[in-house]
Each structure stands twice: as structure tokens, then as C-alpha cells.
Chain A
């Protein structure tokens, strides 16, 4: 049975699974991505990100579960793929053809307007090199061509696998702006990336994957919720015990560090703590909030910083 929410979402998976022989790539994946969002899709290497994207694009058949893309079942990719653009595992083109001809070949296959190839080359800043062979392009240019290819159908949903790979800082900035502009046009972007700081800047929805399962799926701002803390520094060290008692009375955990109290609590507790401390005769010389970054939250969720493949 499919709920109205499932049909309205851009992507929904229910108990989705994929095994390659003995190896489980995707294991009972349950996610939903609302339309009109930029969804960051993050996880360590071999966590099942690319396999999930391939399943959603009809390239790989799941061995368990179901999924819907733009309201249609993945059993019928023809129903939704004309409205989907994708850049999967880096750009793949015919090296001896020009960027323009590569786009034209895809445009003919998808029955898209050939004029769109020129427009998209312009959009990704490749119009001057559009007639050069793809083999002469830098990695960043190939990446831009890949994004142009993904935009050919003027898609409602874009699945981008590591879209900023190989780009210089200016290129990354341009792609970030492009993603935000596309979201503003009402498109949904599903962006897999290793660069957590990058995802943090653009994503308003987040899916964190490990071992083929979703550790988190929800609004990006919620991922760090419960992982914020207050740092309170009393005027005198002796007052730490009073502060600790106040915090304990409210059921929060805390730790002491160099004459300060670090309290694991919502940021909204700060004014109350300040007031209660004053009532108890404690003067706070410093009271600041500290929100866990996506990177800190990510490593906390996946269980430590052992996977070196993810960098901020």
C-alpha cells in the first residue's frame, strides 16, 4: 500500500535491499526525500550510496523492498526517468567526441531539444570549449559537462553523485550556487558527497548511510539537535558544584573542563541556566552555545573517526 506522503515525496524507499552475491550493499533502507529540497546523501565508502542511486535510476534491480521516485515505482523507470537527471560516479562521455556532440547524442536519445545542449554548455561555463574533444578537458570541465548532461531533460529531480569532484574552489562555489538556484526553481536535488562541509552548506534535508542502512533521514537542522551543548564559566571554580546541581536537577548530563561546565542540552536552556545561576548567587563570566558540526555529528553517528575517506 502506498500512502499519499509516499506519492508526494521525490524519493521514498521502503525496506530497500540489494545483495551482490554474499555482499549486502543496501540493507533495508527506509528513506524519504521531500520535493523541492536539496538532500545531502552522505556515508563512508561502500556504505551503499552509489548502489542506492543506481537502483533509483533503474540500472540495478533491488533484491528486496520497494522504492518510488517522483511518485512512480522503480519497477517502471520509464514513468519517471524523463523527469530525472543524473550524474553517477563521475562523468562518463565519449572522449573522442566534443562536449557538444556528447550532449547532442544524449539529447537525441532522450528526445530533448538540441538547442538545449548549447544553452547548458553556456550555463556550466563550457561554451568556448564546447567543440573541443572531451579527452582534452580537465577533470573539472568533465564534471561540468556531466552536470550539463544531467540537466538536459530540465529535470524535476537531479541525482548527483559527487558533483564537485575535481573542481577548484571557484568551480565548487559555482556548482553550489547552481544547486541553490535549481532548488529555488522547485527542483529536488539528491546529492551524494564525501565533503561534509559542502553538504552542510547546501542541504536542507539529510540522509546518512552506513552499511546500507539509514542512520538518519530528516531535516538537516535536526541532525545536530540533541548534539548541542552549553559552555558555562562561573566567576569562581568553587561555583561549578552549584551550577552542576542546577543542571542535574533539570536532567541534563554535563562534564567539567578547565573551570567550565559543558552541558549537553538544547540551546534554548541557556537563558534559564543564566537566570537560575544568578538566583543561586553564581555569576557567569561566559555562557556560550556550541552546536555540533555535521562532521562531528556524522562521526558520532557512524561510530568514530576510523573511516579516513570522509573529510571536511
Chain B
């Protein structure tokens, strides 16, 4: 697995991955600045509510949480495209000739992309936090509650739960790519599933649909009130294991004809 991981690290130079990181950092930074600007200058009941929230210890986390969905979507796109491209470009056959132990190859690639996704998300949170502090000072908003022990604790929880959520979405992207064996199909299907299919199911059968993978990953990151934190955590771990096992089984036993 380490050989596969080391091989994947060479591929981190690809512009598509750099673009993904840039997009995550850009959206987080822009979202942090725009959120504070709108809250301070916007007025109205909406702006007032946002401003009130920003003045609490949870203000920073709430601000970053608004952009979290975009970062998650970028992770899903990048990871599924990266996995799917091995089939689309035909590079998978080269990899499997050099490493015929398929599960080790998949494990190394998965770990590498998880490292990428988590690293990029951490960078995005760091930049978003820095921009939020600068924007808050610019707009005369006190950041003292954010740096209180409660504020820092909330930020750490946000980062930790966000990381688990990103791991979940990355495994979903990996599974869809192994299933579809194509970069465009992997991106299209994973986005359509996460954004459309689950949304429809939630509106049709909310009690059952809240346990779907996208719902529990999001619930974990955003501290949903529909299911408890521990339920979301357990369901995320369970779905992660299911996606890994299903993806691994498909990858191991299917013919490689690309």
C-alpha cells in the first residue's frame, strides 16, 4: 500500500488537484468575507440574525459552515474525477501491471486522495478563518467570542466533524467512480446522487432518507438536529465501511477493459 501511496503522491502535481484546492480555498475565503460584509451591511431581519450569530462564540463556525457545502461538493468532484480518470485515461491498466494486488492499489490511492482532500479542506478552513478575522476587524466586529475557549472548542469540533464528513464524501466519490469506471460519469452520478436523488428521497420518505450517506455526512458536519451527533457519527462510520467494502469488492473482481 505504501508503494501505491508514494506513487500517488507524484501525481499531486496535476493541475486538476491544484485547481480543486484553489477553488476550496477561494470559496472559503470569499464566503468568509462576503458573509461578514453582508451581515454587517445588509440589515433587515436576515442580516440581523446573521450579525447576532457572528457576535457569539459560534459565530466563526457558523460563518465557515455556510461555505462548507461548496467545499464538500468540490471534494466530491475532485475525488470521483480523479478515481474515474484512471479508467477514462486507461492508466489503470499500467498501475495494475506494476501492482497486481488490487486492494493494496486501491487502498494507497484512497489514502492519498483522503490526504489531499483533508489537507485542502484544512487549508481552506485556515484561510477562511484568517479572512474572517481580517474582515471582522475591517467591519468593527469583535472577534473576542471566537477566541474564547468555547469558540476555539467549537472551531476544533467543526474541523474534526468536517474532516469525518469529507472522508465520507471522498469514499462515496471513490465508490461511484469504481462503479461507473469513467471520470465524467463518476462526477455526474456522484453529484446527481448527493444533490438531487437524496434531496428527492428526503422530501418523499424523510424518516428513512435521513440515514442515507449524504444526509449523515452532512448531519455530522453541520450538527443536524434531525439525528443526534452520536447517531450521525455511527452512521458515518458504518457508511464509510460499507462504501470501502463495496468499492473494494468491485475493484478486486471486475475485469479491467479500459
Contact = CB atoms under 8 A, between A and B. Distances in A.
Interface stretch (B6-14, B50-58, B62-70): B6-14
A58 B96 contact: yes
Contact of A108 (B10, B89, B97, B256): B10
A92 interface: yes
Interface string A116-154: 000000000000000000000000000000000100110
Nearest to B108: A109
A101 B7 CA distance: 10
A30 interface: no
Contacts of B4: 109
A114 B105 CA distance: 19
Contacts of A60: 255-257
Nearest to A58: B100
B255 A105 contact: no
Nearest to A57: B97
Q: Is the interface of B mostly helix, strand, loop or mixed?
A: helix
Contacts of A152: 98
Contacts of B6: 108-109
B98 A110 contact: yes
Interface in A274-294: none
B94 interface: yes
A54 B97 CA distance: 10
A92 B92 CA distance: 9
B99 A105 contact: no
Contact of B10 (A54, A77, A97, A149): A97
B90 A92 contact: yes
A166 to B, nearest CB: 15
B89 A95 contact: yes
Contacts of B98: 81, 106, 109-110, 152-153
A294 B100 CA distance: 36
Interface string A80-118: 010011101110111111000100111011110000000
Contact of B100 (A78, A90, A93): A78
Nearest to B256: A59
B96 A92 contact: no
B101 interface: yes
Contact of B11 (A85, A90, A97): A97
Interface string B62-97: 000000000000000000000000000111011111
Contacts of B96: 57-59
9 contacts: A59-B93, A78-B101, A81-B100, A86-B97, A95-B89, A106-B7, A106-B98, A109-B99, A153-B98
Interface of B: 3-4, 6-8, 10-11, 13-16, 89-91, 93-101, 105, 253, 255-257
